[in-house]
Structure 1
């Protein structure tokens, strides 16, 4: 897997995290101390797992890349980590294949909030609404979602990335908000951030940060 090899190189290519940190501050302001938060695609644990844990929230962080999880566990050992495919969240496979009952069907409504910063972009567009729906299942009624995406009309398009090829999906802003609405989320706020990666081989991008609430 590419992200096992990329490891700390990801943080070096994307050092500025202002939009992500702003979304984390929103969660800290909205949630009660000790509330459970699920970080989908935690990467190295910086900055989100660290920020939310230090802010007094109980963070369960998931990723599929062993290399990223090793870094995250050393960066923020206070959080709870699981290796699982985000596509299997809230399904029987979370228990049967991954051995994580706290992320399976019986965990519906367990979490006060979820974060997914630039993890859903690794899925084909057809799968993103399904994963959003599974995240929604794990949230309590009115639960919060802080989401980071790239604004681009892309569907699983190949992209050279830190010496590897990965596939990236994105949406134009209005289409992303419609996708979230159909998945059962109300978008309360969105911010756009032009971003030029520190690695000059990567093109500039428009990052979108959305603050959402589960409807129903």
Structure 2
């Protein structure tokens, strides 16, 4: 079970509003380490305690996404509950202010910030890529985007990532084009909204 500091942090997710499942009838999924939880009816439930209607809703959603299920099988995740847990972890476990389940229906998958991004062979099949209004962000663009709020110069970002300043400039241009941001402040706002900070 998550520790108290994790639960306290959860109460103050990205926008400062309470996540779904605390004061409403919706469900928010989240992960800590290898464990996946459902926040519902003001309770944080581990996978083994999820109600059958929730398991059924996830399995219905899995039937609609055979490529994601194929990726699970390729990863040798084949047990029923293990598949459900990994499916939710990869597709819905970003703690945000968008309910993952409303009226018993899973909503659109969300970008979950996983430490395997950029190296996972199932990326984009099992999990969602980070979509912006005018394109999908690459792993490297996300790395650059994460460094912008630190107030670093392009050269400092380049040094941290081991790339040239010119390459950082290309990534910045791509980020502005894909997000529609006019400046770094708007890029920071986008990163904040996508739980990248």
* TM-score of the alignment, normalized to the shorter chain, above 0.5: no
Q: TM-score, normalised by structure 2?
A: 0.32
Q: TM-score, normalised by structure 1?
A: 0.30
| Larger-Rg structure | 2
Name whichever structure is richer in strand by fraction: 1
